[in-house]
Structure 1
Amino acid sequence: MMRTILSACKQVQTPLLDIPGLNMELFNPRRRKEKVVFVIGATGTGKSKLSIDLATRFPAEIINSDKMQVYKGLHIVTNKVTEEECRGVPHHLLGIADPNTNFTAMDFCHHASLAIQSITARNRHPIIAGGSNSFIEALVNEALVTDVPEFKSRYECCFLWVDVSLPVLHRFVSERVDRMVEAGLVEEVRRIFDPEADYSRGIRRAIGVPEMDQFLRGERIIGDKIAAQYLRKAIAKIKENTCKLACSQLDKIHRLQNIRGWKIHRLDATEAFLKRGDDAEEAWEKHVAGPSTDIVGCFLRHQDCVPNIVVPVPSTAIIGSTVPMTAVAAASH
């Protein structure tokens, strides 16, 4: 059964602002910069879970930076947060864009800047969360938005990186795809299937859509046995491409850290992914949510502090073969 999405998520669609003139106070070098928290990481590591955890501990709102979740529709394929997972936290830039058009990095910079202004104007803190590091890099380092000063001149950034050992993450991703199929992924993609569609535009670029093309083209004209083979092949390809995406996202984070010189706080969530039930929640609090809360608290108080973080396992480390993933499945995005 398809999950109820966004209805009570306090989704906020920030209107476009027509700024009549620049406030020169923004350029005052003595003016204290506003604070923006970023939650980054590979797909499936728990970015949404952490951002919502933080937003329930600080007066904050979340801005989505996932380039597929910004589009309307395909809630299962794009793994949008559910009503329950939102926990009443307002979300911006989630399911706002026309699925048949390309929402670019410049579009993101424009809309995210407006959302940040709206949030900070209400004395709340923006938390930008998502796996599209190109969007975040454009916002922080490169893009300018019409009629507002460069991002770095206005905002101070805190970067939190939720990491999971790759072997563990790949197993979790595989199991998550199976759960998405059980939740109705195939039917969801079937509803938007168009044999003439352009898979290089809009939401059809999302992993889970192009991979289903061969199956959906042939399911009505081939036998059930062959169709089942096509479907298994499509699901395997979705898993493969999702794992490739995770590796690409990690490479990008390393580049931002090593080449761009971003100060990024790495939180290792591997232990939480290896445990079940209350033990998983305890591990998440110990290794991820708790240290992140300390980091953000110091950041908002204009203090430097080093939280008590257990030395993490490198993301490429080999973990044992038995990996129970059900404990963190519901809230890992």
Structure 2
Amino acid sequence: MIDANDVEPPKKKEVLPLLEVMACVVASLRRCCRHSRGAPLPSMRISFSAVKLPQPPPPLLTFPAGITMDPFINPPWWRKEKVIVVMGSTGTGKSKLSIDIARRFPAEVVNSDKIQIFRGLEIVTNKVTEDECCGVPHHLMGIADSDEDFTSDDFCRHANDALSSIVKRGRVPIIAGGSNSYIKALANDDYEFRSKYECCFLWADVSSKVLNSFLSERVDRMVEIGLVDEVRGIFNPTADYSRGIRQAIGVPEMDDFFRIEWDPKVSCEVKVKILRKAIEKIKTNTCKLAKRQHMNIIRLQTQLEWTVHRLDATEAFQKRGNPDGFQEAWKRLVTEPSIEIVRDFLRDDGHVLIPPINTNPRMPFATNAVATVTR
């Protein structure tokens, strides 16, 4: 019980019920005044215990035990789509791995190599051939003019368009290429990509000593199949080697040779010497590129919010002279672990996109173990 004179002013949210109480108090006072006019007003005590305050309204929607609002807060159509990213230094087998994966899942490849973006120089840029693609669709391969200034922003715009197209067809995009600046620009810095996609990163890696040996062999093979003739076809003594496809290793290194190739004052012996020097420079610069790309991937790992799965293909490259040995090691060390990683990735959060698996698919390029890892 409390004295009416001690009642605190009502709080704003209690105004309506307390006004009703006060109306009752005033009515009681008036009755007292009518029965005892001129007499002192008797003290009164008012009980608030009988006052029935309004109860909170019942919930609009109730769920049985074990059912929550999660499907409504995070509906399936808001979930991010899955994207696989295959990284690695030049020559470590990125294209082969991406094709291996795409032949086990409903997937398509999106090129992220900043030189293969340009049209032309198929040998110099090591573009995959139609046979090597094994029927797997490839996007952003040879889409830019040879002299175009193709930027990271251009790549992100084209890549987002390609990814959207692939996803709409119910397939998984595989981004593959050695240009880590493109991958960083897309996966780390592009809002559209980050808002739509979740990534699984695979890193095909080979020890530097073994890789450098392989890269040297690869340059010799490129020369044998026509690198010199291919570069000669775009030679221009006033060309800018800092833009377009002429940035590709194998183009600027040949400049000195082409400038004296038809000069009658220069002996054949000197020309051969200059050509050999150019080829050695191509090998050196390719190995330097591989080292830079390796360091960039290590740096990129610290900037990505996703785990990067490293796949060591060194043993397979050591067996590249033996087709059967190479294929066995590549499958055991690279392809099968990647398939398991991708399978788990696609199963995450109930977002399953896995067709029946062919447990023993025909391995591409089986007749030439070296050709399988030139990309």
- TM-score scaled by length of structure 1: 0.82
The structural deviation recorded for 1:141 is 1.0
Matched residues, number: 280
Q: Given the alignment of the two structures, is residue 283 of structure 1 paired with residue 329 of structure 2, yes or no?
A: yes
Helix, strand or coil at the partner of 1:301: helix
Q: Are the equivalent residues in 2 in contact too, given 1:35–1:126 (CA < 8 A)? A: yes
Q: Are the equivalent residues in 2 in contact too, given 1:35–1:300 (CA < 8 A)? A: yes
Which residue type is aligned with residue 287 of structure 1? L
Q: Are the equivalent residues in 2 in contact too, given 1:256–1:262 (CA < 8 A)? A: no
The structural deviation recorded for 1:32 is 1.3
Which residue type is aligned with residue 346 of structure 2? L
Q: Are the equivalent residues in 1 in contact too, given 2:199–2:306 (CA < 8 A)? A: no
For residues 305 and 239 of structure 2, the distance between their equivalents in structure 1, rounded to whole angstroms, comes to 40
Which residue type is aligned with residue 198 of structure 2? E
For residues 218 and 166 of structure 1, the distance between their equivalents in structure 2, rounded to whole angstroms, comes to 35
Q: Give deviations 1:215-252, integer Å, cap 9, x for gaps.
A: 00011112111000110110011001100100110111
Which residue type is aligned with residue 79 of structure 2? R
Q: Given the alignment of the two structures, is residue 132 of structure 1 paired with residue 179 of structure 2, yes or no?
A: yes
Distance 1:98 1:29, change over 3 A: farther
Distance 1:290 1:282, change over 3 A: same
Cα RMSD (Å) of the superposition?
Answer: 1.4
Which residue type is aligned with residue 229 of structure 1? K
Q: Are the equivalent residues in 1 in contact too, given 2:140–2:158 (CA < 8 A)? A: yes
Distance 1:29 1:115, change over 3 A: same
Candidates 236, 240, 245, aligned match of 2:280:
236
Helix, strand or coil at the partner of 1:142: coil
Helix, strand or coil at the partner of 2:239: coil
In structure 2, the partner of 1:112 is: 159
Helix, strand or coil at the partner of 1:100: coil
Candidates 152, 156, 178, aligned match of 2:220:
178
The structural deviation recorded for 1:29 is 5.0
- TM-score scaled by length of structure 2: 0.73
Distance 1:166 1:303, change over 3 A: farther
Q: Are the equivalent residues in 1 in contact too, given 2:96–2:372 (CA < 8 A)? A: no
Q: Give deviations 1:89-140, integer Å, cap 9, x for gaps.
A: 0000001110111111111000000000000000000000000010010001
Q: Given the alignment of the two structures, is residue 62 of structure 1 paired with residue 109 of structure 2, yes or no?
A: yes
Percent identity at matched positions? 62
Q: Where does structure 1 lack aligned partners over 5 or more consecutive residues?
A: 1-27, 145-149, 305-325
Helix, strand or coil at the partner of 1:302: helix
Distance 1:250 1:271, change over 3 A: same
Runs of 4+ in 1 over 6 A off after TM superposition: none
Q: Give deviations 1:30-61, integer Å, cap 9, x for gaps.
A: 41110000000000000000000000000000
